[in-house]
């Protein structure tokens, strides 16, 4: 493996992490029906469609002109991200979702190691580039967890696990020994791959 600086390794890992969370969410979304994107557990809960809309809106705001403008854009209406009017087709929800992720991944992929020494602003507050990346990573991981939880709740007994199934930790460790993690593969992808392999063999 060629030598990489700590900053290069960090950027590679951040990019892999965001991609893995996107993939995890989409594996959960693949298990629900179109009408289930709009299901809420109670009056105070958000549907999966709302969470996707909010995440996309946040991404577009935070990652557009990431290094040169405040991450909270003046044309963003955060409150409307939590409102679904005239229930759209899931294709429309996904188009917005993809727009947000493309904005994020393109911005992150264009960063150079030297950019980590720079500062950016979010709501007028100074952040190092590393702080800004970590802030968004934890934010999106939180919401992806919500998406997975809701999809699992909706599918109930028909749910296909996206992590190590119960009572299979030892088998997962053996799986990793027999199938070393591919370069660039995120640990979430390894767990999902194991879960899929156990389903195929059952």
Cβ burial of 130 (10 Å; 0-12, 13-18, 19+) is: middle
Closest C-alpha to 73, from 87, 84, 59, 86 = 59
Question: Into which CATH architecture does domain 6-159 fall?
Answer: Up-down Bundle (1.20)
38-74 confidence digits (pLDDT tens): 999 999 999 999 999 999 999 999 999 999 999 999 9
Q: Is the pLDDT of residue 198 over 80?
A: no
d(CA 96, CA 196): 28
* Whether the predicted pLDDT of 162 surpasses 80: yes
CA–CA separation, 88 vs 96, rounded Å? 11
Distant-in-sequence, close-in-space partners of 94: CB < 8 Å, separation ≥ 6? 52
In the chain, list all ranges with CATH 1.20.120.450. 6-159
């Amino acid at each position: 493996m060629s030598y990489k600086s700590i900053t290069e390794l960090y950027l590679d890992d951040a990019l892999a992490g965001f991609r893995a969370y996107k993939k995890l969410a989409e594996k959960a979304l693949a298990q629900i029906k179109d009408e289930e994107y709009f299901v809420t557990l109670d009056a105070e809960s958000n549907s999966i469609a709302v969470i996707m809309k909010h995440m996309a809106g946040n991404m577009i705001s935070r990652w557009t002109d990431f290094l040169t403008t405040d991450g909270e854009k003046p044309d963003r209406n955060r409150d409307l991200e939590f409102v679904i009017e005239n229930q759209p087709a899931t294709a429309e929800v996904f188009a917005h979702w993809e727009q947000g992720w493309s904005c994020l991944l393109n911005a992150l992929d264009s960063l150079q190691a030297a950019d980590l020494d720079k500062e950016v602003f979010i709501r007028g507050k100074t952040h190092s580039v590393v702080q800004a990346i970590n802030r968004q990573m934890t934010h999106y991981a939180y919401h992806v967890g919500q998406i997975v939880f809701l999809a699992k709740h909706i599918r109930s007994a028909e749910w296909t696990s996206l992590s190590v199934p119960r009572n299979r930790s030892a088998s997962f460790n053996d799986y990793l020994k027999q199938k070393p993690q591919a370069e660039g593969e995120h640990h979430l992808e390894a767990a999902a791959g194991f879960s899929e392999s156990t389903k195929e063999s059952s």
